[in-house]
Structure 1
Amino acid sequence: MPSQRDPRRHAGRPAAKAWPWPLGRVAALAAPLAGLALLAPLVPPVLLAPDPARAAGRRVEAPSPELRVLLQEGPALTVRAAGATRLRLRDGRGKALLVISGERPLRLRWRAGLVEAEPDPVVVAAAAALPGPDPAAGAAGAGERTGAGPSPEPEPLQMPLRLSELWLESVPAADSDPALWLQKRRYRGRLQIRPVNEQLQAINVLPLETYLPSVVGSEMPASWPLEALRAQAVAARTYALKGRKPGAAYDLKATVASQMYKGLEAETASTRAAVADTRGLVLTYGDSLIDAVFHSSAGGVTESSGDLWPRQLPYLVSVPDFDQTSPVREWRQPLDPAQLRQAFAEIGGAAAIQVLATTPSGRVRQARVVGPAGQLVLTGPQLRTRLGLKSTFVRFELQPLLPGPTALSLPGLEAGPLPAGAGALTLPAQAPLDAPQPLPLPVAGGMPAAPPAPQLLVAVGRGFGHGVGMSQWGAFAMASRGTGFEQILRHYYRGARLQPYTEVPGLALATGVESRDDSGSTATALPVGGRR
């Protein structure tokens, strides 16, 4: 169909009548429009016409910077390629050393400050035996000839390999998904193996957007509403970019010390969709990435960052939480005497714990522990760490322990035998009949005093995690009632702005580890990971 401006549509038409408006007025109205027409090629399309995906906060195409995630540490590690793929080994300069079959594991050991790898000689192939680019070989790639004449024979390698740094990558077959097994989990991307303090560090190097589907599935059930998963994807993306440390050996850990990352098995169609739908979107405040910390459940109200950590950030303030359906909104944790003796060994245990001060949300700011050999004054986080509590939103009670089934039916106590020293009555051995019997102490009313009933210290708390930022169970509740991920994020990160990370001023987005600079490093004093 010809366009509206096709000159053929106007052929043969009579000449237009004279315009009734004065020519001067027409020129005055046409000048601004002509200027816009001249500037149109210079103006980004997003400013000329609204993009529905962008307006809805959905997918924004952007380059994906690389992350370095510490997966495991140990004196020995086992790696193999997944499925029908093979495993290529490179040294620290990127030079391809050899390729081995993915059928058998590659065992790595720390040996005298080096990485020792000894592949099975039956499954070893030359480094150039398989097609694929070789960064160390330049633009030509591995196995590609750049001139006439036969290819030179590869230098023989001495086994076992001993290197100051080892890189491992999968060489996929045509119908396979490239991945690497490390111990019992599969990971995308490459593995860097470094010898550190008589151990090996396994660091996963992969693009940010490839990393995130596993994080979302590791942090939230994949069956949760998509809007909750999208909110988690944005928070996790922001947290990961904020946490890059170019001067360190790695950026993040694969545990709750940063954010959970369980590898390929944690990915699902829903977590991949949540990441794709929010591609490139991050949270900012004042043209900088925010500290997008999050936790499991806040127990009804979140905590302000300044009441837990040294710095109060304007977007991390206390807000209501909607975690009524959380299984850890309310909890009870018995503290048996053996645990208390281990937690407070310097004072011989704990007979009582007194809360001295709380934050405005009700969490413990300071507490006194009273033990047989003295007292301790601890902060709420210190107390939580020592006792292994779910949160600092806690108080302490003494519950009577009576012998028999009654003691096992107290709220919060698990059925089963009582631990040694948990408060059950212990009767003294029977004295000889001719031994003098002690007289009972006189008391008011003439009756002897009964021995005090043994008591058990119980922590009664709410929520799980530090309580700052987004509550995951709160996000679940909001998404379940139809709230979009943008509104969920605005609720928990007050005043934060949602935008593509390509538009964040000064943010380094290099896709290679070597070219990153210090502009992506963490600059705030929040000492804990995203989830705890």
Structure 2
Amino acid sequence: MAPPSPRQRVLSWSATWLVAGPAAAVVLAGAAPMALQAQAAEPQVRVLLLEADRMPLAAGQQPLVLRAGSQRWLLAPSESVVLQLAAGDLVLERGGAVERLPQMSELWLEPAARPSGDGADFQLQQRGYRGRLQLLVGASAVRAINHVPLEAYLPSVVGSEMPASWPQAALRAQAVAARTYALRQRKPTAPFDVSATVSSQVYKGVDAETPSTRQAVASTRGQVLIYGSSLANAVFHSSAGGSTENSGDLWSQQLPYLVSVPDFDQHSPVHAWEQRLEPEQLQKAFGEIGGAQRIEVLATTGSGRVRQARVIGPSGTLVLTGAKLRSRLGLKSTLVRFEVLAPELAALPPSLPPLPPLPSQPFDPGGQSPVQVPPPSLLAIGRGYGHGVGMSQWGAHGLAQRGQSYDQILRHYYRGTELRPYTSP
């Protein structure tokens, strides 16, 4: 999950339910009087689902309205349509008929009546979602943006980010972290707030919801992590490999609550791992220097993650940050070291002296023709999965198995934060 930009906190839609029940009107100290009137307005999240030149859409169990300006199309339950860019215009394909929608910049797909039941309101690429869908038409692609109430969005995020069979304490910790992250990421002047992928937090629609993820969200409704007067930067990752990372060792700012702490992910399937890097992959990753013969770690963070590394290739060297090295090689984490897997030398003449370290074309000492040695493979030996900052999901699972509650898990990974009802502008 990528680090979000800073955002100030604001007054609560859910303080009534969290503090005193539905009949009361309770707000946090310092709340403006207008908050009592605004409590019913649950925050919405705008999620980028897809950016493509073709959008297969369908109604759920209820009819939908597709509207573009003054034009309206009613979609019967389960009816499907396709929106596609063609020669700069948007084309609507429906029931074998084709209709061109020239100079169209925005469309909306939304329920024809008030949604009811637990099913999806619409489908995109055969995956069901709640809420409304905004379609922003660009020159070469259409953006599909799901506008969905926050508490309806979260059960899918929890189920997409964690196995639904995990203990409730871990699922609830994930629900609070995901809620805090989504609210902090809201950007009123941008076209969307978050994406549905690991670049934000994973969101797979209603198919990822289960009774256990809905319970985790409902039981923590409105709760967020606050540090001082602001929403915390509640980033998370899969597995830390024994120790989480200081935010300042990875990103530009060291936040006081995102410090390195012991992880409890020893049972994680990615706590320790190895990845063989073949010459073809190394050539593709470091084409500007002809591949890689070895990788030297030059500097590490306090937790042992690569801060800077030197890649030595047949035609030069590169110095990269740990993050760029991980990206180029597709590594699970930067908590990694590298070994050389020497090429097979059995076929070489026995009279040759020992080869120098990692030569690309060693020569016979008598000046005869060069001996072709295949480029080496490398072995990456690492621990953990993800950037390592904030909550480790496998660590949360481990703490839950030890009997820790969700608030204890959150306090462990986000030091000095407070669990409080969210407050909105």
TM-score, normalisation: structure 2: 0.82
| Offset from partner CA, 1:75-106 (integer Å, 9 cap, x none) | 111101123x22211225xx571312234311
Aligned equivalents of 1:459, 1:167: Cα separation in 2: 48
Instruction: Give the structure 1 partner of residue 91 of structure 2.
Output: 116
Distance 1:116 1:278 in 2: 44
- Deviation of 1:177 after TM superposition, in Å, equals 3.0
Does 2:179 correspond to 1:243?
no
Matched positions, count:
377
| 1:114 shift after superposition | 4.5
Match of 1:168 in 2: 109
CA distance in 2, matches of 1:166, 1:465: 36
Residue 13 of structure 2 corresponds to none
CA distance in 1 between partners of 2:198 and 2:381 (Å): 24
Amino acid at match of 2:105: S
Q: Which residue of 1 aligns with 2:11?
A: none
Correspondence list, 1:426-445, <5 A: 440=351
Among 37, 47, 64, which residue is 1:87 paired with? 64
Listed one character per residue, the Cα deviations across residues 483-524 of structure 1 (whole Å, up to 9, x for unaligned) are 11000000000001111112xxxx43xxxxxxxxxxxxxxxx
User: Does structure 1 retain, via aligned residues, the 8 Å contact 2:242–2:262?
Assistant: yes
Gaps spanning 5+ residues in structure 1: where?
A: 1-44, 55-60, 123-157, 401-422, 429-437, 509-532
Calculate the aligned-residue CA RMSD, in Å. Answer: 3.0
Letter of the structure 1 residue corresponding to residue 395 of structure 2:
G
Distance 1:72 1:291, change over 3 A: same
Mapped to 1, the partners of 2:209 and 2:59 lie a distance apart of: 18
Deviations 1:191-246 (A, max 9, x none): 11111231111110111111000000000000000010000000000000111111
Give me the whole-angstrom Cα distance separating, in 2, the residues matched to 1:389 and 1:337: 16
Matched, 1:102 2:74: no
- The question of 1:299 aligning with 2:241 is answered yes
Q: Which runs of 5+ in 2 are unaligned?
A: 1-17, 28-38, 355-363, 366-370
What SS does structure 2 have at the residue aligned with 1:479? helix
Q: Which residue does the alignment assign to 1:468?
A: 389
Alignment correspondent of 1:207 = 149
* 1:498 paired residue among 402, 419, 422: 419
Task: Tell me the amino acid that sits aligned with residue 72 of structure 2.
Answer: L
Residue 179 (structure 1) shift: 1.7
Q: Confirm whether residue 290 of structure 1 aligns to residue 232 of structure 2.
A: yes
How far apart are residue 264 of structure 1 and its match? Answer: 0.6
* 2:160 alignment partner in structure 1: 218
> Residues of 2 paired with 1:114 and 1:243: CA distance?
32
Secondary structure of the equivalent of 1:329? coil
TM-score by length of 1: 0.66
| Matches of 1:208 and 1:250, distance apart in 2 | 14
Distance in 2 (CA, whole Å) between partners of 1:454 and 1:110 is 46
Greater CA drift, 449-458 or 197-206: 449-458
Alignment partners' CA distance in 2, 1:180 and 1:291: 31
Give the SS at the match of 1:102: coil
Contact persistence 1:88–1:96 (CA under 8 A) = no
- In structure 1, what residue type is equivalent to 2:323? P
Deviations 1:260-279 (A, max 9, x none): 00011000000001000000
Matches within 5 A, 1:314-463: 314-400=256-342, 423-424=343-344, 440=351, 455-463=376-384
- 1:21 alignment partner in structure 2: none
**Alignment of 1:269 onto 2:211:** yes
Deviation at 1:454, TM superposition (A): 7.4
User: In structure 2, what is the Cα distance between the partners aligned to 1:469 and 1:439?
Assistant: 55
What do residues 46-70 of structure 1 show as CA deviations (whole Å, max 9, x unaligned)? 69xxx9xx9xxxxxx8742111100
Contact 1:68 1:252 in 2 (8 A): yes
Contact 1:118 1:161 in 2 (8 A): no
The alpha-carbon distance between structure 1 residues 223 and 346, as it changes in their structure 2 partners (threshold 3 A), is: same
**Letter aligned with residue 68 of structure 2:** D
Percent identity at matched positions? 58
Deviation at 1:480, TM superposition (A): 1.2
Q: Distance in 1 between matches of 2:301 and 2:133?
A: 44
Conserved 8 A contact 2:91-2:99: no
Matched position secondary structure for 2:407:
helix
Distance 2:211 2:304 in 1: 40
Q: Matched residues in 1 for 2:88 and 2:82: separation?
A: 16
Structure-1 residue corresponding to 2:121: 179
Deviates more, 1:480-489 or 1:193-202: 193-202
| Counterpart residue type for residue 313 of structure 1 | L
Q: Structure 1 CA distance, aligned partners of 2:350 and 2:183?
A: 74
Amino acid at match of 1:170: P
Supply the AA of the counterpart residue of 1:88. Answer: V
Query: Partners of 2:350 and 2:96 in 1: how far apart?
Result: 86
Residue matched to 2:398: 477
Partner of 2:358: none
CA distance in 1, matches of 2:151, 2:272: 35
Alpha-carbon distance in 2 for matches of 1:215, 1:339: 33
CA distance in 1, matches of 2:221, 2:406: 13
Partner of 1:69: 47
